[in-house]
């Protein structure tokens, strides 16, 4: 099983690892610099002493020899023929001019060599044990190591602290998800990536929550829709069953049989019309943004008017509108709304003349009015007639009670509303307010 670590621990470990790499690199550089600096200090001492020794190397050798073993300074000078002209107890080897570290009888020495031109060409070498410089270098390196270890520990601690601040939005989101509360996370500030991640997760959870709410609402609507549909269809189906039982059990004459068959045909037509309207309502409920397209409202009104006059020969429909009114909408849905408005005026309002007016009220709103000279809609019913399966007092018996519900649904899907008013023609005025740019509203 793979062992997991918290993001905070990973941030702290990454910070400590980065600090370790930097400290090691800098420690190596500083260590070399310390060693060079200590050797340079010895070289400076030897060069300073050499200025005194060069005055008379022979006397300097005698003085240093008298000082004995307590003196760490070694001095050796050689003649032009490379013979030793004088030396202390520690004889330094023949070397070229300059400073270098050499091994003398197993002891490292730092030696400075120079050439004296007068009175005779001689090479003078001065040396000090390098152990002192090595000891100082070792001590200073220990300080560097201790400081580096402290820096690494401090980096890891700071990484743990700031890592905790960085992952705080994620921890908060996790807590809220576990509690079933996908509200926006509180920004901690200072860590942009963590805040962006928190915002992205919050937005995702909000979308999931919205989708869940929409699904719940859709299921509730579907249950209500199915219950209302079953209730509405139960009455005509019961009537059809009664008529069938009468035909099956009773000995009827031709006139009675014809009357019952006509009643069956009317009831079957009502059931069929109701099912067709239910199907159109369901299609509207399932409309999505991808179904919307640029639609000419005037063209839809013209086509609907021609079809209405063919279906209702006694009806005259006139369209009074601009040359074109383009909006983003559901072409089939708008056509369905206008068709039902005209059918409602002819069948239930018993109108003979209808005027359709379409105009752009503002850049964002289009208004379609359907005026008729029928019997109108009582003021007390002007709101209720848009409910599903509601039939007005003057409605035809064969109606499904869904025509105006379809009109209201399409108005809502186009970001507007539908309502009745008094018509100047004496009948009813059905007003459709549509939004040309407003996002569609799901009907509830």
Do residues 32 and 95 both lie within one domain? yes
pTM: 0.43
Query: Binning pLDDT at 50, 70 and 90, where does residue 400 land?
Result: low
Q: Which of 159-173, 258-272, 320-334 has the lowest mean pLDDT?
A: 159-173
Is 172 domain-assigned?
no
Domain harbouring 252, CATH code? 1.10.287
Rounded Cα distance between 414 and 284, Å, is 11
Is 191 domain-assigned?
yes
- The stretch 199-224 carries a mean pLDDT of 75
Provide the sign of the torsion angle of the four alpha carbons 381, 385, 387, 393, taken in this order.
Answer: positive
Structure tokens at 283: 């299609």
Is 176 domain-assigned?
no
Rounded Cα distance between 103 and 74, Å, is 13
Do residues 67 and 129 both lie within one domain? yes
Do residues 119 and 23 both lie within one domain? yes
For residue 167, is pLDDT > 60? yes
Among 232, 255, 286, residue at a domain's last position: 286
The answer to whether the beta carbons of residues 376 and 363 sit under 8 Å apart is no
Helix (H/G/I), strand (E/B), else coil: 183: coil
Among 267, 286, 305, residue at a domain's last position: 286
Do residues 304 and 402 both lie within one domain? yes
Is 224 domain-assigned?
yes
User: Which residue has better confidence, 46 or 370?
Assistant: 370
Please give the helix or strand (H or E) that residue 387 lies within, else none.
none
Helix intervals (H) in 167-253: 168-178, 192-249
Do residues 144 and 188 both lie within one domain? no
Domain that holds residue 18: 7-161
Is 1 domain-assigned?
no
Domain harbouring 80, CATH code? 3.30.450
Domain harbouring 323, CATH code? 3.30.565.10
Do residues 139 and 188 both lie within one domain? no
Provide the sign of the torsion angle of the four alpha carbons 250, 254, 260, 265, taken in this order.
Answer: positive
Is 169 domain-assigned?
no
Do residues 100 and 185 both lie within one domain? no
Is 122 domain-assigned?
yes
**Predicted local distance difference test score (pLDDT) of residue 216:** 81
Rounded Cα distance between 290 and 440, Å, is 11
Rounded Cα distance between 412 and 137, Å, is 86
Do residues 13 and 157 both lie within one domain? yes
User: Which residue has better confidence, 439 or 91?
Assistant: 91
User: Total domain count for the chain?
Assistant: 3
Do residues 187 and 132 both lie within one domain? no
Among 128, 161, 194, residue at a domain's last position: 161
For residue 374, is pLDDT > 80? yes
Helix (H/G/I), strand (E/B), else coil: 286: coil
Is 440 domain-assigned?
no
Do residues 105 and 23 both lie within one domain? yes
Do residues 295 and 396 both lie within one domain? yes
Q: Which of 44-53, 186-195, 217-226 has the lowest mean pLDDT?
A: 186-195
Do residues 101 and 91 both lie within one domain? yes
């Amino acid at each position: 099983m793979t062992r997991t670590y918290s993001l905070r621990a990973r941030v702290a470990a990454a910070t400590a690892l980065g600090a370790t790499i930097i400290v090691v690199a800098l420690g190596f550089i500083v260590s070399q610099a310390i060693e060079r600096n200590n050797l340079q200090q010895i070289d400076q001492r030897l060069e300073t002493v050499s200025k005194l020794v060069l005055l008379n190397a022979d006397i300097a050798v005698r003085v240093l020899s008298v000082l004995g073993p307590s003196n760490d300074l070694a001095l050796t000078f050689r003649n032009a023929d490379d013979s030793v002209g004088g030396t202390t107890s520690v004889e330094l080897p023949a070397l070229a001019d300059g400073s270098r570290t050499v091994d003398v009888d197993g002891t490292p020495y730092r030696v400075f060599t120079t050439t004296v031109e007068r009175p005779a060409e001689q090479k003078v070498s001065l040396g000090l044990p390098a152990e002192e410089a090595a000891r100082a270098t070792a001590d200073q390196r220990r300080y560097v190591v201790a400081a580096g270890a402290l820096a690494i520990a401090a980096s890891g601690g700071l990484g743990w602290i700031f890592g905790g601040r960085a992952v705080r939005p994620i921890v908060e989101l996790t807590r809220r998800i576990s509690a079933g509360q996908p509200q926006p996370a509180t920004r901690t500030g200072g860590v942009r990536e963590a805040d962006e991640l928190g915002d992205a997760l919050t937005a995702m959870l909000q979308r999931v929550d919205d989708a869940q709410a929409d699904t719940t609402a859709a299921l509730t609507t579907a249950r209500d829709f199915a219950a209302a549909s079953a209730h509405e269809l139960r009455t005509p189906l019961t009537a059809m069953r009664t008529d069938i039982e009468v035909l099956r059990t009773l000995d009827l004459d031709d006139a009675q049989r014809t009357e019952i068959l006509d009643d069956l045909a009317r009831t079957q037509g009502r059931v069929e019309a109701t099912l067709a309207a239910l199907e159109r309502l369901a299609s509207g409920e399932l409309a999505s943004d991808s179904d919307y397209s640029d639609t000419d409202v005037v063209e839809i009104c013209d086509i609907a008017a021609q079809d209405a006059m063919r279906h209702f020969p006694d009806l005259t429909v006139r369209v009074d509108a601009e040359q074109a009114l383009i909006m983003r909408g559901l072409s089939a849905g708008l056509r369905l709304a206008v068709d039902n408005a005209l059918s409602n005026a002819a069948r239930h309002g018993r109108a003979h003349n209808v005027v359709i007016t379409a105009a752009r009220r503002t850049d964002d709103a289009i208004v379609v009015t359907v005026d008729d000279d029928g019997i109108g809609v009582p003021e007390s019913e002007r709101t209720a007639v848009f409910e599903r399966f509601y039939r007005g007092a003057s409605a035809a018996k064969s109606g499904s009670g869904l025509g105006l519900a379809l009109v209201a649904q399409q108005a809502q899907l186009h970001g507007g509303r539908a309502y009745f008013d008094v018509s100047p023609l004496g009948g009813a005025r059905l007003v459709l307010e549509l939004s040309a740019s407003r996002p569609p509203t799901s009907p509830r």
